[in-house]
Structure 1
Amino acid sequence: MNKIILIGNLGRDPEMSYTQNGTAVTKFTLAVTRRYGKSASGERETDWFNIVAWNQLAETCNNYLKKGQKVYVEGRLEQRKFTDKEGQNRTAIDVIINEMEMLTPKNQQPSSSGSDSYGGSDDLGELDDHPF
């Protein structure tokens, strides 16, 4: 069985495109922060995931999700091979989702004014440093 469930914050606005046969595909990154260590507050580490949605779910993600929002996603892992800018062969792991639920309350949604601010307290690191 290949199944993954994640709760995290969007690292950037979703980007939607269409395949040659007209199928909608939307991609975005998801930052999932976890605590570790023995202290009460715990140290934090953020893992980044490449998220891919298809068809109607792709359109929903593109229309309603924004950078910084907290979401629940469920899907499967899929490996993708590519060649980077330096000509090196690489492998990326994408999360192909089949379920998505918005968790950020409506009154706390990021504004649509194009602000790049992230409303959470988790350290997401430099967003441009993450591939996708």
Structure 2
Amino acid sequence: MNNVNLIGYLGKDFEIGNTNSGKLYAKNSLAITKRWKNEKGNDESSTTWIPIVLFGKSAESASTHIKKGSQFACSGELSSSKYLDEAGNTRTILSVIVSKFYWLGKKDSKDTPQITQEPPKEPRVEYEHPTINIESEEIPF
């Protein structure tokens, strides 16, 4: 089973484009921060940036309505693609091809819902689309 579930904040507005075969895509990076106390009791954190890609109507909807700093929850599948860097080395990048997502609010908003058992205070926008077969060459990074 290849299923990934993430909640984080969008690092920028979505970048829109079309694959070589003309499929609309929107890409972004999701910041996921882990917080803990070290052995001295001091707060520490580490942020991981996860590349995400949406296709079709999901891409159109997300790029129109969801902006930088928004809290974003998504489900999808992990995908890998290879490319050559400037030095000619083969690099592999992992990204999440999003099939379902929720907009949870803005990071700077005082009304941003917290992740709890209670429903969010702001309405969520949910989109779910059937799986789209995308060749690894069509993934934009």
TM range (shorter): 0.7 to 0.9
Q: CA RMSD of the aligned region, Å?
A: 2.3
Aligned residue runs from structure 1 range 58-73, under 5 A: 58-73=59-74
1:41–1:9 distance in 2 versus 1, CA, 3 Å: farther
* Structure-2 separation of matches of 1:92 and 1:59: 24
Summarize the alignment of residues 12-91 of structure 1 with structure 2, pairs less than 5 Å apart: 12-37=12-37, 42-91=43-92
Find the counterpart in structure 1 of residue 138 from structure 2.
none
Tell me the alpha carbon deviations over residues 20-69 of structure 1, each in whole angstroms, 9 at most, x when there is no partner: 44321110011000113357774111011000001111111111121111
- 1:75-127 CA-to-partner distances (Å, cap 9, x unmatched) read 0100110111222110000100001111115x939xxxxxxxxxxxxxxxxxx
Work out the CA distance in 2 between the residues paired with 1:36 and 1:83. 37
- Asked which structure has the greater RCO (Cα within 8 Å, sep 6+), the reply is 1
Q: Which runs of 5+ in 2 are unaligned?
A: 111-140
1:103 aligns with 2:104: yes
Per the normalisation by structure 1, the TM-score is 0.74
Unpaired runs of 5+ in structure 1?
Answer: 110-131
Number of the residue aligned with 1:3: 3
In the alignment of these two chains, the number of paired residues is: 110
Q: Answer with 1 or 2: which has the greater Rg.
A: 2
After alignment, is 36-45 or 93-102 more displaced?
A: 36-45
Which residue of structure 2 lines up, in the alignment, with residue 127 of structure 1? none
Q: Which amino acid aligns with 2:51?
A: N
Change (3 A) 1:41 1:58: farther
Partner of 1:128: none
The TM-score with structure 2 as length reference comes to: 0.69
Cα distance in 2, alignment partners of residues 71 and 41 from structure 1: 28
Q: Secondary structure at the match of 1:58?
A: helix
